[in-house]
Structure 1
Amino acid sequence: MQSLALIENWPVPTAAAAVVRADGTVLGAHGPLGQRFALASVTKPLAAYALLVAYEEGAVELDGPAGPDGSTVRHLLAHTSGLAFDEHRVTAAPGERRLYSNAGFEVLGDHVAKATDIPFAEYLRQAVLEPLGMTATTLDGSPAKDGVSTVDDLVRFAAEVQAPRLLDPRTVAEAMTVQYPGTKGVLPGYGHQNPNDWGLGFEIRDAKSPHWTGTSSSPGTFGHFGQSGTFLWIDPAAGVACVALTDRAFGPWAIEAWTPFTDAVLAELV
């Protein structure tokens, strides 16, 4: 795909990207696909997927208590627990606002570890990484932001999310459904949005503007971006997912570059 070569124009030391279908067919790839990059918050979808495995195994309940008083696993996954961004401090009642929270995902990691008696990083490896052959992906630290991976590995994950084998497709469909519809909040880097829609660990595009995906991305597009200059989106209407990893922190350069890049990728698929 010629559109993927646009990453060569990004003002970053290194970038790699790929587009993959649900059956695992890689339609195009560019850059060092086996190079390991810090994922930052693109770690969250991996962590959420592991938690959903724990849910299907009966170790945790989505509507069971976790985090602040009145909060549930579902609240934490959907960033509506009331926890602050990077502090274990309550700033709102559960379900009241969409408060993007790294602390919430750390609570989730601890919750799964306690329920399974397995450290979360090891549970992630056993539940998701190993079955998908993601041998270059590791988590050493926070389940909110400390994952390290490659484009090659994330292509495997993106194919799994599109055509689930590790989870019941109904569970994945629930994860991609807006939780607590109409909730307003802030999308980091893009400002206040009403509504600020999220599923279970995945952000849902809907009609958000501005946004880090494309202007031509379908409303059902979901995924995540990371402050390390990384993103993963899945566009069900287009039938593809795209992974892009860089080694430059998210900033104005990414806001300027990512949207036209995604529009070019989608245009090439038509």
Structure 2
Amino acid sequence: MTAPELLPGTRRALLRRVAVGQAQGRTPSLAAAVVRGGHLVWTGARSMIEGHAPDENVQYRIGSITKTFVAVLVMRLRDEGLIDLADPLEQHLPDTAAGGATIRQLLSHTSGLAAETPGPWWERTAGELRPELGHLLEDQPFRHATGERFHYSNTGYALLGALVAKVRGLPWGEALRQEVLEPLGLTRTTLLPQAPHAGGFAVHPWADVMLPEPLTDTALMAPAGQLWSTTADLARWASFLAGTAAGGAEKVLAPATLAEMRLPAGAPEGDWTACYGLGLQLLRRDGRLLIGHGGSMPGFLAGLWLSPEDDVAAVTLTNVTASAAVWDVAIDLVAIVAEREPRIPEPWRPFTDADPELLALTGPWYWGPTALALHLRAGQVLELTALGSQARSSAFQPESDGTWIGLEGYYAGETLRVVRADDGSVSHLDLGSFVLTRTPYDPAGAVPGGVDPLGWHAG
């Protein structure tokens, strides 16, 4: 089933936003694509050359969007049991000055490693200057204690690429091609540019003139930002990251693993606006959660952002070194589609395989005097919601041992158990030691501290 075509007014608004971005951003070209429902529904471009806008097959350098590909390779290793995210790097890649950082910390930029390599600037110099991993790090490469705080690290992702190569026994780029690019049909995503591709330029900050940027091969630093791709390929990649891609994408990475990558790696406190997952950036913008990544290399800027709630993603590729006016174009394209053509929800349908014992658990429950309701959803998912209070809520997925594990909020990772009396009837629910009973402070339930024998009374 293909996604409905966008309305003419929406398409014009998208093209106008791209045109404004190209003009105000003073970029030689700007190419864009929009995905909805897992399908490419719009492409557009503007160029400084009249009548010569790039199409969806033209390659641009995508910078740090490369990190999303590296993260998928690492998560594949985890899912195969070859590594654990809690493993220190030195367990699999010994003899680096960063061996004490864990794989999870490297993925989430919480390793404390320096952001960049020792000079010269790696993005504009040939990779041959750093032929060994040791050349990527200073003798004391940590800027912060491991796990202490978020600190973006390009060198951390170079080490993750080396980790993939070590565990797989082949270059990380070859592992990427075999395990990810070919299965997903990303035939125009490559380590080095392949025609047709855009040239990268710097635009003078105070004059409308340009300077070509060198197209360097960064070698060992390539996992931090080397890849070249197209709007068509990145549209497919966005669908994959969103979990809406068809055609056997689950063989590349399980949907549950992709969902894990899209969560904050260290849940931020308060009303956060930006954080990082496992290889993915997370933003909150105008009430909308956006997941994706930005990218920059000399001569190029890129953006890939998706809104899971709206089921819309957008990609932008430009060939300019620096331009504040183009950073938000992809985000704005998502908003244009989401606001002009809001997602139509799937119709409600009942499920036919409801377990009678689970059905009997539904309805009101009480944590002390706090009223809650337990709902049964498809897939034997239990959903606990508050009734007229600010009590904590969560969905719970079933486990093979007959328990349920919380999926969100306060109860994320906590266990929900059904406790039965000697006669087999349900006595109460145990939620991480909290006792839920069918009536408030049920004297027949195992309420910690017991229940006053007088019961409820006027005082």
Same-fold call, TM > 0.5? yes
Corresponding residue for residue 17 of structure 1: 32
Confirm or deny: 8 A CA contact 2:305 2:330 kept in the other structure.
Answer: no
How far apart, in 1, do the equivalents of 2:305 and 2:327 lie? 15
Change (3 A) 1:49 1:173: same
In the alignment, what sits opposite 2:114?
Answer: 84
**Distance across 2 between alignment mates of 1:259 and 1:177:** 19
Match of 2:145 among 93, 104, 108: 93
Structure-2-length-normalised TM-score? 0.52
Matched, 1:52 2:63: no
Cα gap change, 1:235 to 1:258, in 2 (>3 Å): closer
Instruction: State the secondary structure of the residue aligned to 1:238.
Output: coil
CA distance in structure 2 between the aligned counterparts of 1:132 and 1:217, rounded to whole angstroms: 32
Provide closer, same or farther for how the CA distance between residues 25 and 37 of structure 1 changes in structure 2, counting only shifts above 3 A.
Answer: same
Percent of aligned pairs sharing the same letter: 33
* Match 1:26 to one of 31, 40, 43: 40
Distance 1:256 1:179, change over 3 A: closer
- Distance in 2 of aligned mates of 1:266 and 1:248: 28
* Residue deviations 1:76-103 (CA, integer Å, cap 9, x gap): 0100001111123211111111111110
Match of 2:14 in 1: 4
CA distance in 1, matches of 2:333, 2:242: 21
2:88 paired with 1:65: yes
- In terms of fraction of residues, the more strand-rich structure is 2
Of structures 1 and 2, the one scoring higher in RCO (CA 8 A, sep 6+) is 1
Count of aligned residue pairs for this structure pair: 252
Unmatched 5+ residue regions in structure 2?
1-10, 46-54, 91-97, 118-136, 193-218, 244-248, 343-459
Preserved contact between residue 109 and residue 120 of structure 1 (Cα < 8 Å): yes
Q: Deviations over 1:208-239 (max 9, x none)?
A: xxxxxxx43623x2110112221001110111
| Counterparts of 2:337 and 2:85, CA distance in 1 | 35
Give structure 1 stretches of 5+ with no counterpart.
Answer: 185-192, 207-214
Cα gap change, 1:40 to 1:259, in 2 (>3 Å): same
* Counterpart secondary structure, 2:69: helix
TM-score by length of 1: 0.85
2-structure distance, mates of 1:41, 1:252: 17
The alpha-carbon distance between structure 1 residues 121 and 115, as it changes in their structure 2 partners (threshold 3 A), is: same
Alignment of 1:1-270 (within 5 A): 1-5=11-15, 6-9=17-20, 10=22, 11-22=26-37, 24-31=38-45, 32-66=55-89, 68-87=98-117, 88=137, 89-140=141-192, 141=219, 142-163=222-243, 164-165=249-250, 166-182=252-268, 196-206=274-284, 215-216=285-286, 218-219=288-289, 221-227=290-296, 228-255=300-327, 257=329, 260-270=332-342
CA contact (8 A) 1:181 1:195 kept: no
Question: Larger C-alpha radius of gyration, 1 or 2?
Answer: 2
CA distance in 1, matches of 2:236, 2:331: 23
